[in-house]
Structure 1
Amino acid sequence: MMYTLYLKRDSLLHSLDPRVKIVGSLLSVVVLILFNSPVLLFSLFLLIVLTLVTLGKITPREIFKVLKPLIPISVIAMIIWPFILKPWYFGLFIGFGYGIRLLSVALVTLGLIMTTPQRDLILGFIKMGMPYEIGLTLTIALRYIPTLYMLAQTIMDAQKSRGLELERGNFIQKARNTIPILIPLIVASIKTAHELSIALESRAFGASKRRTFLHNIEMKTKDYIALGITLASFLFAVYMRYFLGIGYIKLF
């Protein structure tokens, strides 16, 4: 069974050219890397959420659903920093920023997938000069992340119904309890990869260097406006960081 993160909506973000969203996502990640101030990073995180809610018509519940698997990793990142920086409350403050940065980068990437169909995403990469093979590989990899995640959840529920207790025991026991989850997941992944290779061969993938497309994309006026706003916002962020010194805290 296939799963997808794409959410069909009648919104401005969904209607934009995928190249604009790809460029915007890449620049957003760069901006998140430029700053390390927890206050500014938290503000950017709220801005990303607000953009997805207002311009993408994605509900906060749907956003929380895709970020939920990353929350434990973000919390671990927050906990580690008090052991690196002294005093501990300063380390916790900086750790909070890095945890929020992790969630923000993930949300930017997931937001691109949630608002762009797979077909348009491939076309966007190809129109930007990426070889078709690489574009397809990247898109398939992004496409199968939610599939494997939902498959793992299904396997876990099935094993729990058979009496497997994943939460009980010490760390070693919990690690052993994951074996009944990993083995079926690996087998299912290999089977899925085999079926995918058969599907590609049946469609004569790689038989011709020149490819044609049933659907095409083209930039419209609103796309150029959105791209201009995105570039202007990125330049303003760079100006804030390197010329005004805003949003960066010296750690060492």
Structure 2
Amino acid sequence: MMYTLYLERDSLLHRLDPRVKIIGSLFGIIALILFNSPILLSLLFLLIVLTLVILGKITIGEIFNVLKPLIPISIVAMIIWPFILKPWYFGLFIGFGYGIRLLSVALLTLGLIMTTPQRDLILGFIKMGMPYEIGLTLTIALRYIPTLYMLAQTIMDAQKSRGLELERGSFIQRAKNTVPILIPLIVASIKTAHELSIALESRAFGASKRRTFLHNIKMEVKDYIALGITFTLFFLAVYARYFLGVGYIKLF
């Protein structure tokens, strides 16, 4: 079974051309990499959340659900920095920024998937010059993220019902307890990939070099306006970082 993060909504973000959202997500990730100030990164994260809530009609609860698996990784990223930078509180401050940056990058990518159907994502990549095979592979890879997550959750629930304790014991013991989770997950992943390959072959994938599409996408006035705003904001971010020195803290 294929799970998807896409949420059907009647919003401005959903109606935008996928190429605009792809370019916007790419520029947003690059802009986040330019800065390391925790204060500015927190504001950017808040801006991304507000954009999804106001323009995408996605609730805070739905945003939290997709980011929940990444929160432990962000916390680990935060607590590592006090061991790298001195004094420790400065390292914790910088680590907080890197944790927020990780969540922001993930939210940009997941926001693209949540507001764009898989069909439109493939068309967007193809219209931008990407070969169809690569566009399809990339889109399927993005869609497999929630699929594997749901499979892992199902397997964990099944193993817990059989008495497996994942939260108890030492670190080594808990690592050993993940083996009953990993093996079924790997087997299920291989099975899902095999079923996907059969589905593609049954549809004669790759039989013709020239592809036609039942559904097409076309840039409209609102898409050009949104694209212009995206370019403007990106160049303002570059100008603020390299010419004004805003949002960057020298670490060493």
Same fold (TM over 0.5): yes
Per-residue deviation, 1:2: 2.1
1:52 aligns with 2:52: yes
1:15 shift after superposition = 0.2
2:151 is aligned with 1:151: yes
Q: How high is the sequence identity, in percent, across the aligned residues? A: 87
- Residue 117 of structure 1 and its aligned partner are, at CA, apart by 0.2
Once the two structures are TM-superposed, the CA of residue 12 in structure 1 deviates from its matched residue by 0.2
* 3-state SS of paired residue (1:205): coil
Aligned residue in 1 for 2:22: 22
Q: State the partner residue of 1:185.
A: 185
Residue-by-residue CA offset, 1:84-111 (whole Å, 9 max, x unaligned): 1111111111000000000000000000
| Distance (whole Å) between structure 2 residues aligned to residue 238 and residue 2 of structure 1 | 39
Q: CA deviation at 1:176?
A: 1.1
Which moves more between the two structures, 114-123 or 170-179? 170-179
Give the residue type in structure 1 aligned to 2:201. E
> CA offsets per residue over residues 173-217 of structure 1, 9 Å max, x none?
111111111111111111111101101111111111100001000
The alignment partner of 2:189 has SS state of helix
**Secondary structure at 1:108 match in 2:** helix
Aligned residue for 2:225? Answer: 225
- The residue type equivalent to 2:166 in the other structure is L
Q: Deviations over 1:12-68 (max 9, x none)?
A: 000000000000000000000000011000000000000000000000000000000
In structure 1, give the amino acid aligned to 2:195: E
Q: TM-score, normalised by structure 1?
A: 0.99
Tell me, in whole angstroms, the C-alpha distance in 1 between the residues paired with 2:209 and 2:115: 30
Separation of aligned partners in 2, 1:150 and 1:199: 21
Distance 1:89 1:24 in 2: 34
AA aligned to 1:12 is: L
Q: TM-score, normalized by length of structure 2?
A: 0.99
CA distance in 2, matches of 1:205, 1:4: 22
**Shift in Å at residue 171 of structure 1?**
1.1
Separation of aligned partners in 1, 2:251 and 2:26: 26
CA distance in 2, matches of 1:137, 1:166: 34
Rounded Cα–Cα distance in structure 2 between residues aligned with 1:169 and 1:246: 46
Say which SS state the counterpart of residue 219 (structure 1) adopts.
Answer: coil
Q: What secondary structure sits across from 1:246 in the alignment?
A: coil
Runs of 4+ aligned structure 1 residues displaced above 2 Å come to: none
Unaligned regions of 5+ residues in structure 1, if any? Answer: none
What corresponds to 1:41 in structure 2?
41
Aligned residues: 252
Compute the RMSD of aligned alpha carbons: 0.5
Q: Which moved more, 1:11-20 or 1:173-182?
A: 173-182
Aligned runs of 1:182-221 on 2, under 5 Å? Answer: 182-221=182-221
